[in-house]
Structure formats: structure tokens, C-alpha cells
């Protein structure tokens, strides 16, 4: 079941849309781009990788008006870790996958935090870790949604869903 390029592009566009939505509290809002990137890096490590993550990161940086390269660096690291762990993650059930994804997203957030602290910002508080946690809770939904276009009941594989 090959993944169509349109599905990948569409999912990233939707994630960007969700990211740019005016959230009342940005610390608690999940980073949908990071989540989608983690998903495709785990599922399609040959097609989505560091270059995609880096370019998306730059777009997010410019759109949010933060330091150029902050999200680019975080997403590159996230893509690298997700690709390195992709074989391992797919062996687990959803709960095991979510644990891994939590680590990945928190790691990406930590990279961004490190960049900002190095650039002289103050630590905004521990609720910073809540965004990735909420993002992790969305992992089953993202898995279900993004596998829907490839879904063929006749070829259902236990490991794939």
C-alpha cells in the first residue's frame, strides 16, 4: 500500500494550519507539525526525513516570528531520532508507541528550549512540557487518520495498525 505524496503534503498542510491557529495558551497547544513529522518519519523513513523536517521548521520559525533555525534544528533532530527508532517503534502496540512519541516530542521541545535559553530568553515554566504530552495523546488519532487513505481491509496486518 504505497502512500501517495498528496497524503503526505496534505497532512503537513493541515498540521501547519492547526499550528498557526490562534491558540489561547501556546504552551498547552500540541505541536501538530512535530507530531505529523514524527508519524511520517516512523512510517515512511525513506520519503520523509531530515530535509522535510528542516524546511518545515524554517516555515514554522518564520510564521511564528521566532529565531530562524530554532524549529528547524528541533525538527531535524526529531526526524533523525524518529527514523532511527522507526523499526523499533512499529513493533510496539499503541501504548508503547505513545511512550516513544512522548520522548521524541519532549526531546524536540527540549532542543528548542536549549536554543532559546542560549539566546537569552527566560525559562517560561514547566507547563512547556504539557504541549508535547497533549500531542502524544493525539497519536492514536493521527495514526488512524493518516492510515485511512491507505486502508484496505483485505490486506489488514496486525503490525500495521
Partner 1 sequence: MEHTPPPFFVRGPAPLVRLAFFASLSLTLLVLDARFGYAEAIRSVLALAAYPIQQAARLPVVLAEGVAGYFASQSRLRAENEDLRARLLASALDAQRFESAAAEASNLRRLIGAAERLDRKVLPAEILYSGRDPYSRKVIVDRGTQHGARPGSPVVDDVGVIGQLTRAHAFVSEVTLLTDKSEAIPVQVLRNGLRAIAFGGGASGLLELRYMSANADVESGDALVTSGIDGTYPPGLPVATVIRVERDASYTFARVLAQPVAGIERGRYALVLSAGARSPAYPDDDAMRKGAKTRRARKPMADGS
Pick from 49, 85, 108, 136 the residue near partner 1 by CB under 8 A: 49
CB-based contact 62:20 (threshold 8 Å): no
59 touches partner 1 by CB under 8 A? yes
- Concatenating the DSSP letter of every residue in 41-84 gives HHH-TTTS-HHHHHHHHHHHHHHHT--TTHHHHHHHHHHHHHHH
Q: The C-alpha cell of 25 is what?
A: 495558551
In the structure grid, which three cell numbers stand for residue 32, read together?
501538530
Smallest distance, partner 1 to C-beta of residue 5, A: 18
Which residue, 86 or 143, is less far from partner 1 as judged by CB? 86
Q: Considering only the stretches 44-52, 89-97, 98-106, 147-155, report the one whose residues sit in contact with partner 1 under the rule CB under 8 A.
A: 44-52
- Closest to 79 in 3D by CA, of 33, 138, 117: 33
Confirm if 75 and 54 have CB atoms less than 8 A apart.
Answer: yes
Least separation in angstroms between CB 132 and partner 1: 12
Binding span for partner 1 by CB under 8 A among 10-18, 100-108, 138-146, 152-160? 10-18
C-beta of 70 vs 143, nearer to partner 1: 70
Q: 73 or 101: whose CB is closer to partner 1?
A: 73
Sign of CA dihedral 98, 160, 10, 112: positive
Segment 64 to 93, residues that bind partner 1, using CB under 8 A: 64-70, 72-73, 76-77, 80, 83-84
Should residue 122 be labelled a site residue for partner 1 when binding is judged by CB under 8 A? Answer: yes
Amino acid at each position: 500500500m504505497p502512500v501517495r505524496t498528496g497524503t503526505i503534503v496534505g497532512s503537513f498542510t493541515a498540521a501547519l494550519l492547526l499550528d498557526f491557529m490562534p491558540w489561547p495558551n501556546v504552551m498547552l497547544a500540541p505541536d501538530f507539525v512535530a507530531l505529523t513529522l514524527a508519524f511520517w518519519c516512523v512510517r515512511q523513513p525513506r520519503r520523509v526525513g531530515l530535509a522535510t523536517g528542516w524546511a518545515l521548521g524554517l516555515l514554522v520559525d518564520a510564521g511564528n516570528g521566532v529565531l530562524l533555525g530554532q524549529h528547524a534544528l528541533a525538527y531535524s533532530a526529531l526526524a533523525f531520532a524518529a527514523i532511527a527508532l522507526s523499526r523499533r517503534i512499529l513493533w510496539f502496540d499503541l501504548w508503547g508507541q505513545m511512550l516513544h512519541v512522548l520522548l521524541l516530542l519532549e526531546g524536540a521541545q527540549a532542543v528548542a528550549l536549549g536554543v532559546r535559553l542560549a539566546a537569552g530568553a527566560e525559562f517560561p515554566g514547566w507547563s512547556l512540557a504539557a504541549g508535547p504530552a497533549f500531542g502524544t495523546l493525539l497519536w492514536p488519532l493521527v495514526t488512524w487518520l493518516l492510515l485511512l487513505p491507505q486502508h484496505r481491509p483485505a490486506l489488514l496486518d496486525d503490525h500495521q495498525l
